[in-house]
Structure 1
């Protein structure tokens, strides 16, 4: 494997890794550790996944990426031209998708600068009890209260509101249940509860307040601006892993032929990378559950609209990697792995809501300092092990055993 291929991939992956770390670090610098942790857990698919498990995936797929760059440059007919064309195509798709995501008119609380959030208050002033309910709560209080509640229960899907009247279902005169509303009610031991109609109106008012303030460039946070600038890199990273998984399946014989001494390490890296990446759709679904409880299920668009499709694509992506990893071995092992994958997929489908709720509690809006520190610690250990000489010796040992 040429030094040029390894250097090229190293530079690209270092830039991607730096962008993964830059936005959460900037968030902590701008908002302070306490408020930053609230935003990190709420948007864990952005601020927690990429600087931890995203870096693990980069380290895990480093060697397969080097193998494909070297193979296309030296062993594939018209390889350099096809490689550059594919790279440009992925970059163009990433820019297009990122532009579509940033064009969403609805913004997040952390898109507003700290001074703006500190000056914001509930509307009307002095509201918050049964005698004077709020039209909407202070912006920072809404997301903070969601985190407090999430830390004391498994998921927050019970707080979803039906914001459309259903003409085909009669209530039979029963009173509509009243529930706590994050967008309108301060958290207390005995908070006043709201009907669906009252909370839906407050949720719309809450989101509209964010969007209205965001229209003034002077009110926008530095973190939000840098995030939008670096978002194409994150999308490119996801497309890149999808492309690598396809190539690993289609060109497995070429990888085995040209890099027989690296195939064991590539297999190990692929399995570790797949295990890390499977948390991205789960943490994205956890974000959607928290966002629906705070902003309302009626406010679709942007990233929330593509999460179901993305989860399906990640399932197909994982099956491609499973096919590559076990087609190198005997037929019985390959069949057992496929059956295990089908069984795991079936369990995930039937228990998906429970699984997402668990992620909300421990890796989403309900995550505490211990959970966050544990994810960071495990990610650092995994990156060091994957890039250390120990991984190389393990790969060589596995290759000798297979021989």
Structure 2
């Protein structure tokens, strides 16, 4: 039987694992699909290929899918996210000179204590006319929004006290080495590669800023989804099977070896394997540290596209774009995430399917919470923001009014 080809754009990151493994391990073929992967080096190019029809779907930073649907930065194109490719997995890596000023030891920094020390340095540098510079992968990326959320909460004003620039993930370590930036917020394996090259020190992981924070997604144009919902359902099932494979400890080494290939990440196997197993080397030549939930995948319906996640991303996008809250835009932003497609694709599979499409984000501080499901048993773990604020998607304007 002939396979239906679906073209998926991606960047060379560990969290591109699911479409890669779906192709390489036969999960796509089992669903009658052939995945053709298109590798790029910037998120803008991944987005443009998708919007102009050169690809059918994309591994994409979640806020960029929302920005495309809203027409922020370019003409609006209706977008759909039927599947989340993973939670967390990013880190904030500082140049060695800056790390020496603000980190007291070789452990992960505490967001509050590290922020207080960084604020002293940032204000002194700003007063001297040499602001600290941080590199992120795109203006409309979770990296940018997470970094800004943390900085603002510890009293550092993004764009005033520090500069935030854009750098490709694959060149982030080079930017640190060249002294072009003092810190980066990127995905793996590029933080670890900066550490292994001796040009950076991992200070925080984004799971410390928002535990269970949404990261990359499978994005499609709405018209592509509408033209062939069956293809989208089959792709969701293939990716879900790949996610189960990805978290199986028995597959770790093989998965890392596949991802390391030149056509995919073109990177050493070791830092990729460390990321998959939640082990992070913080300092050059240091022993890897186990960081629980560093890169969260599959468990607790991690791949479910909660509309409340989209709402939080929208809240931060307008916060930092200096825009006013729009109820109409909020509806569009939340509508990009398509839990209905996820449920339809996995009905009858035994996978836990949340009964709700939104929840209060950041409300689970410790332990676990049972959640209503239409299929399977769903227990959700800790999802706090580091400042202990909770986000109600039904009161975005009120939430924004409380933020620094």
Whether the TM-score (by the shorter chain) exceeds 0.5 is: no
More helix by proportion, 1 or 2?
1
More strand by proportion, 1 or 2?
2
Q: Which has the higher contact order (CA 8 A, sep 6+)?
A: 1
Larger Rg: 1
TM score, norm. by length of structure 2? 0.31
TM score, norm. by length of structure 1? 0.31
